[in-house]
Amino acid sequence: MRSRDGNHSFTLAICSVVFLHSLALHASEYLISYRYLVKDATLYNETLFISKAMKKCLGTPQKPIYLDNPKQKSLKDLLSSYDSEFIEYIHKLGLHVEHQEKTNNFINSSTTILTLKTTCFKVDINENFAKIAPLK
Amino acid sequence: MKYSLLLVALLSSSTIFAADDTTKKVTMEPAVSNITVVCPTGSCQKPTEVVAEKACPAPELHKEKALEAAKAEVQEEVLMDNANIRISVTGQGVAPMNTSSPAQAYALAKRAATADAYRLIAEKVKGVRIDGEDTIQNMMVKRSTVRTSVRAMVRNANVVETTFKEGLCEVEMEITLSHSQFAQ
């Protein structure tokens, strides 16, 4: 339908700007860090920190993970439901290993800490899938 | 005069032929020798000439030495340009005592075993720092302490197999290393 002033291109431009802006807002950036501690071959502590980035991150997305049919709209809820897949994915990305072992009078004790240093992830949640990719 | 000249010509020709006969004898004699020469280039001929036989082994020895040196260098270089190294380890972990279900025990034990496997990979690839300290007092060992530590970044390690038996979880993990990953 033709508008009253007849300016089709202007209306189209406004609509496309609004649409692209909404898409850009949907793909947001999060800071994620992960750490777990194993003491004497027993898991002692595990933490996964998720925070929305307050500054724009630099870098390009690499090696994304796709999570199918996300019912949750927030990343925290999404990752709590896909925790095993996401933690396996974090392991693939690479973890910093720090191991210390002490043998005192032939009594041994060991501590191993695996850490994913705080990394910025680009998160895009659609109706069909969620795409999470680290920025490097 | 003519006859004398003819005589001189005949004599000289006979001496030349006589000389040819002697050289033939000399050249035929070395053919009986039992020296066997293996030339890697394949350019060496049958041992008809003694000089050629003696000249061939000298560069051959040099080549053998050079080959041995090259082999030694290759053996020293662990990670070659076109070859990959696959490192396989098995990490072990146990579940804590206060777990609410066997599934939780399995999950926690698996996490601990994965960390152990990562540690083993780091130890193999990067190495271990070891500090030891013994305190001896009155000719007796009072305290013996050994500290080991590893620090590394492990990427692209794959879990091959996971087994859980009698509270012990074992995770078999492997990593493939290539020369390009370490190229600077």
ipTM for the predicted complex comes to: 0.76
Task: Tell me the mean pLDDT in the region B3-24.
Answer: 57
Whether the CB-CB separation of A87 and B159 falls below 8 Å is answered with no
Instruction: Check CB contact under 8 Å for A42 and B116.
Output: no
Task: Tell me the mean pLDDT in the region B69-87.
Answer: 72
Nearest-Cα distance to chain B for A55, in Å, is 27
Nearest-Cα distance to chain B for A118, in Å, is 14
Among B46-60, B111-125, B132-146, the range scoring the smallest mean pLDDT is: B46-60
Instruction: From residue B118, give the alpha-carbon distance in Å to each of A62, A68, A93.
Output: 23, 29, 13
| Nearest beta carbon to residue A99 from set B94, B109, B119 | B119
Q: Which range has highest mean pLDDT (A31-35, B6-10, B29-33, B72-76)?
A: A31-35
Q: Any CB–CB contact under 8 A between B147 and chain A?
A: yes
Find how far residue A44's CA is from the centre of its chain: 24
Element (H, E) at B18: helix B2-28
pLDDT tens for each residue of A73-105 = 788 888 888 888 999 999 999 999 999 999 999
Instruction: Mark out chain A residues that contact chain B at CB-CB < 8 A.
Output: 36, 38, 41-43, 46, 91-106, 112, 114
Instruction: From residue B153, give the alpha-carbon distance in Å to each of A111, A112, B18, B91.
Output: 16, 13, 86, 17
pLDDT tens for each residue of A37-73 = 999 999 999 999 999 999 999 999 988 999 887 777 7
Instruction: Check CB contact under 8 Å for A95 and B109.
Output: no
Q: Any CB–CB contact under 8 A between B153 and chain A?
A: yes
Q: Which residue has the higher pLDDT, B88 or A27?
A: B88
| Nearest beta carbon to residue A103 from set B119, B145, B149 | B145
Task: Name the pLDDT band for B24 (thresholds 50, 70, 90).
Answer: very low
What is d(CA A33, CA A46) in angstroms, rounded to the nearest whole number? 11
Count residue pairs from A and B with Cβ separation < 8 A: 89
pLDDT for B29 equals 45
Chosen for mutation from A47, A90, A93, A95 (greatest number of chain B CBs closer than 10 Å) is: A95
Longest dimension (CA), chain B: 135
| Nearest beta carbon to residue A105 from set B144, B153, B157 | B144
